[in-house]
Chain A
């Protein structure tokens, strides 16, 4: 339960940082975490503060709560042995699912292949994509599965942990002001998948990190080249193809596959 308290500190730190930055730029304080139309420096430093506070939490939890070094604590969840293959499996599973989904949308004209970014921009994005995907997935998995799930499991059963952990994981994506709220269903389904994959592999982070990184790679990799033609409730939109009805059903099928395939091994 300590992890939930620590997690709640993150938006508080983010809001304090945002208020300070707005004040420094002579702008009024906002009650919401929303820097969309703020000066670039406010947005950039806001991101630095967010990532810095997440990193600080990831580092602090093992030291303060577990009495272990971060390397010792997370090393147990990321062993460098045969279970490393789970990372490749996770990435391959996410890639397969999204390939099928994208192929269906393209075949049914629900998604148009249309390069809408400059060559320079999409090439830079693609070059940075593997590192962005792996680090992004790793940070979220260390936070939500490594810290939150591990802490919740001390108090609750695995199934209750999945429910609470998923709700917190999904709502964390809406702490900042967002353009779309209907994507919450996709985040909930994704939270269940990642939570189940963590539990059925004996609390190894390799499978959830692989699934998460594979998903980011596919979605962000496709982004400069496709346009969703909706309806959004069916196909999802922007970077949320998993939030449409088909995407959520796909995540459900993938969750069942993960539970059956890795849970039985």
Chain B
């Protein structure tokens, strides 16, 4: 991650998730430069875990993503805990919001995140149960091999 000192803060500190290529990064830089801002910190897309930690800790007031895909990618990866970001007072911004949807995407993202979280919780629980059952069966099979010696011929 890199840190740049911006103009005097109007909307506070900004965390920016970098784009995947030069064009995307240029669009992000232009957006951040045009907005009145204070301290700006850039996070590479591979550092979503660090971005999440920083936003959850309340170090930033705004989080800027290129578009909905970039934000949702962070959520799918498991590092986009946007409920905790909100609790920390972070405002989400998209440089390129969905067409004709300047602000309505926020409600969609909230609902998507809530649904995804529920699905992940259920999936984790199912996987834990499956792992326990498979381990118990494999253990029982190993005991059979250890205890029951086949007859010699």
Contacts and interface: CB of A to CB of B under 8 A. Distances in A.
Interface size class for chain B? 20 to 34
Interface in B130-146: 130-131, 134-135, 137-138, 140-142, 144-145
Interface stretch (A59-67, A79-87, A143-151, A174-182): A79-87
B130 A88 contact: no
A121 to B, nearest CB: 18
Nearest to A225: B130
Nearest to B152: A265
Interface residues of A, number: 28
Interface of B: 123, 126-127, 129-131, 134-135, 137-138, 140-142, 144-145, 148-153
Contact of A95 (B127, B138, B148): B138
Contacts, number: 65
Nearest to B124: A113
A262 to B, nearest CB: 7
Interface core residue of A95, A103, A113, A225 (most chain B CB under 10 Å): A113
A177 to B, nearest CB: 33
Contacts of A114: 126
A113 B127 contact: yes
A106 interface: yes
Nearest to B135: A99
Contacts of A113: 123, 126-127, 129-130
A51 interface: no
